[in-house]
Amino acid sequence: MFVERLNGNTMKKIGIILGICLLTAVSCRQAEEQKEVTMENAVIENIMARRSIRKYKAEPVDRETMAKILECGINAPSGMNRQSWEVRVVDNPELLNEMKEAMAAGHPDMDPGMTKGCFRDAPTMIFIARDPSYDFSAYDCGLLAQNIMLSACSLGVGSVCLGSPVRFLTDNEVCKPYIEKLGFSEGYEFCLCIGLGYGDESPAAKPREFSKVKFVD
C-alpha cells in the first residue's frame, strides 16, 4: 500500500513537472513568435518613420554611436561583395566650417547661403566615394547610404542625403585641398554626402506614388 501510494505521489509529481515543462515550451515558443513579429514590425516602422532632416541641433553624435551606424552601413549588400565604396567621416566643426567657406569662395557668383548651407548645418558629415572601375559601384554606394540612414533613424539620429556638396567641392580649385584631405584612394570618385545629427524638426511624410508600382502577371 505504501509503495502504491509512493508510486502514485511520484507519478503525480512527474505529471506536474511535465506539465510545467510543456507550459514553458509553449510560452517560449509564443515569446519567440512574438519576438519575430515585433522585430519585423520594428524594421517596417523604422523604414516608414525615416525622414530627411534639414535642421539640426548643435549637439554632436558621439563616435560610439557613429561607429555602430557605420558598421550597419558597411553591412549593406554589394555586387560580388566588392564593397566598392570608401567612407570618410568629418565631425570636426572647424574643418566643416573651413569646407563651407571654401565652397563659397569657389563659387563667387552663387548665393553664399546656398554653398555655405549645403551641409544643412549637420554636425557630422559622411563623404562617400565609389570605385569607377566597377560598373555598379554607384548602386553599392546607394545601398550603403540607405543602411546608414535607416540605422541612424533607429538610434534617434536624423540624416539627409546630399548631392550638391559633391558638385561644390569638386568643380573648382579652391576646394581641391579639402578633397585631398579626405584621402580617398587613387581613382576613387567622390559621389555622395550624408549629413547626420539630432534633428531640430519633425517633418511630415511626403506623399508617395504607389501607382508607379505594378505587379506583372
Three-state DSSP string of 1-41? CHHHHHHHHHHHHHHHHHHHHHHHHHHHHHHHHHHHHHHHH
Contacts of 90 (CB under 8 A, 6+ apart): 96, 99, 124, 125, 127, 182
Rounded to an integer, the average pLDDT of 79-99 is 98
Domain holding 161, by residue range, is: 63-197
pTM of the model: 0.81
Give the Cα separation of 89 and 103 in Å (integer): 18
User: What are 32's three cell numbers?
Assistant: 519567440
Instruction: Looking at the structure, tell me whether residues 130 and 156 fall in a common domain.
Output: yes
pLDDT tens for 114-170 read 999 999 999 999 999 999 999 999 999 999 999 999 999 999 999 999 999 999 999
Q: Are strands 189-197 and 158-162 parallel, antiparallel or unpaired?
A: antiparallel
- 100 and 147 in a single domain? The answer is yes
Q: Residues 14, 71: one domain?
A: no
User: What pLDDT was estimated at residue 115?
Assistant: 96
Is residue 54 one of the residues assigned to a domain?
Answer: no
Residues 140 and 181 in one domain: yes
Asked if pLDDT for residue 20 goes beyond 70, the answer is no
Quick one: 67 and 44 in the same domain?
no
Half-sphere exposure of residue 40: CA atoms within 13 angstroms, side-chain side: 6
Whether residue 92 is found in the same domain as residue 44: no
- Count of domains observed in the chain: 2
pLDDT at 125: 98
- Other Cβ atoms less than 10 A from the Cβ of 129: the count is 24
* Claim to verify: residue 71 and residue 27 sit in the same structural domain: no
CA–CA gap between residue 34 and residue 36 (Å, rounded): 5
